[in-house]
Chain A
Amino acid sequence: MKTYQQVLEELLQTIRPLVPQTMAIDEDTELVGSLGLDSMKVMNLLQEVEDHFDVSIPLNVLPDVRTVGDLARKIHEQLQAS
């Protein structure tokens, strides 16, 4: 079972290619506010992340996801539940 830290590291690696190289991202980076991802890009990112971790992230939880860390926590929860 992956730890939260492992999930976070893998998530950061998945997101990095999608944003400009100069942009620093960490747990507290906001997906929309800081990375400037629009809703369509967020949905595409989610699909990539779901494939990577082999989980389905329910749309219902998205209102609670603001930062990279929030998303990592939701993925971790899904992995624990599966």
Chain B
Amino acid sequence: MNLLDKFTPLQQARDQLKALGADPFNVVVEKILSPTEAIVNGHRVILAGTNNYLGLTFHPECIEAAVRAIREEGCGTTGSRMANGNYADHQALERDFADFYGKPYSVVFSAGYLANLALLSTLPGADDVILIDADCHASIYDGCKMSAAEVIRFRHNDVADLDKRLRRLKDRARRTLVVVEGIYSMFGDPAPLREIVEVKDEHGAYLMVDEAHSLGVLGDLGRGLAEAEGVDDRVDFIVGTFSKSLGAIGGYCVSPHQALDTLRYAARPYIFTASSSPAQIASTRVALRLLREGRDLRQRLWANAERFYRGLEALGCTLGPQLSPVVPVILGESREASLAVWKELLERGVYVNLVMPPATPDHRCLLRCSMSAAHTPQQIDTLLDVFAQVFAAHGLT
């Protein structure tokens, strides 16, 4: 067996997809038209699988700020935050996040993925423990792999299982970082955060919440699940991304602990990568302001989510556990049948994400749909019409 043989099964799986006439993991957006429309395979599609929750990617103020930053500061920084890449605007955005969350410490990273790698690879050390929800995102698992700490999983959203595992750790519970998400990316369900906070406090553990899918979506001010559940001041580290509600690329963490600021000098995913480009930082600063002022955006997002979710429910689709802007339509175990449904939706002008095991929480494939504040009611009705036709044609309703 040589170096490259291990890729043979993966290449075969890819060839099988090609033979079926579609590759859902290599869709080319030939032209992006708006937050909710694009040209794919030569025809116009409604985008319902983008994480563009507030629809800010084409906001004129964000675009204007990015253009101005490129003209004044250039296309890239060509260096790490630790060297020449620490611009005044990076620090200004960190102050914006600190102010938004009411926390003294804030760090901006070049991607949400890197924020999780930085925190998890650096905060918990060799004698510490990371206790993660089993359904956590790959970036959290990858951060754990980079850490010298012991890594333990608890059952998804199962507070009794978390409590049991903290109890087993005895004194080491005080050296444990519990990691959960605000909204889980596949099923769109939130963590039972109030109960989790109670349990981690009882055992003296620390808590990190990844608000990637809940920033701008939950809470009156849009800060996420910790705000919505009234436990902001009992979470030790809040992590998030610019790449969903803020419509750019980047990551952040806020905390009441000074250790977060010190982490800049130790976290390799912060040190050994170039800092975010001036355009990304500039558009994110504007998007964060729009998010803070955006109660109307959140209302529209939730109204759209409800319209879509209830419509699919009426069609008899098997959906995720609760109403959320992330709407999973659960299919069967057959990859071929699921691919055929996804392909026909796309051909009829609907783009959603096809997710297959092991990326799904169980053995079933699912269509991961996500709503945006930018969807119009007419677009949602069109989506529902197409779902009705395709699901009927495939015997799914």
Point out residues on A near B: beta carbons under 8 Å: 38-40, 43, 47, 54-60, 82
Contacts and interface: CB of A to CB of B under 8 A. Distances in A.
B395 interface: no
Interface string B153-177: 1010000000001001100000000
A55 B357 CA distance: 27
B144 A59 contact: yes
The secondary-structure label for the interface of chain B is mixed
B358 A60 contact: no
A82 B168 contact: yes
A56 B151 contact: no
Given A56-B165, A82-B168, A43 B134 contact: yes
A40 B362 contact: yes
B227 interface: no
Contacts of A40: 357-358, 362-363
Nearest to A58: B150
B396 interface: no
Given A40-B358, A40-B362, A40-B363, A58 B151 contact: yes
B150 A60 contact: yes
B168 A59 contact: no
Nearest to B149: A60
Nearest to A47: B155
B138 interface: no
Contact of A60 (B151, B165, B357): B151
B152 interface: yes
Contacts of B357: 40
Given A54-B168, A56-B168, 8 more contacts: A38-B358, A40-B357, A40-B358, A56-B169, A58-B151, A59-B144, A59-B153, A60-B150
Interface residues of B, number: 14
B152 A56 contact: yes
Contacts of B153: 43, 59
Contacts of A60: 150-151
B38 to A, nearest CB: 33
Interface in B350-374: 357-358, 362-363
Contacts of A55: 168
A57 B362 CA distance: 21
Contacts of B362: 40
A10 B168 CA distance: 20
Contacts of A39: 358
A32 to B, nearest CB: 13
Contacts of B363: 40
Contacts of B165: 56
12 contacts: A40-B358, A43-B153, A47-B155, A54-B168, A56-B165, A56-B169, A57-B152, A58-B151, A58-B152, A59-B144, A60-B150, A82-B168
B282 to A, nearest CB: 40
Given A39-B358, A40-B363, A59 B151 contact: yes
Nearest to A61: B150
A26 B84 CA distance: 60
Nearest to A57: B152
Contacts of B168: 54-56, 82
Contacts of A56: 152, 165, 168-169
Interface string B51-66: 0000000000000000
Nearest to B168: A56
A58 B169 CA distance: 12
A39 B362 CA distance: 11
Contacts of B152: 56-59
A58 B362 CA distance: 21
Contacts of A57: 152
Contacts of B151: 58-60
A60 B358 CA distance: 19
A42 to B, nearest CB: 11
Nearest to B131: A56
Contacts of B169: 56
A75 to B, nearest CB: 13
Interface string B367-390: 000000000000000000000000
A43 B363 CA distance: 12
A26 B317 CA distance: 44
A58 B153 CA distance: 8
Nearest to B362: A40
A38 B9 CA distance: 15
A60 B152 CA distance: 8
Interface in B186-217: none
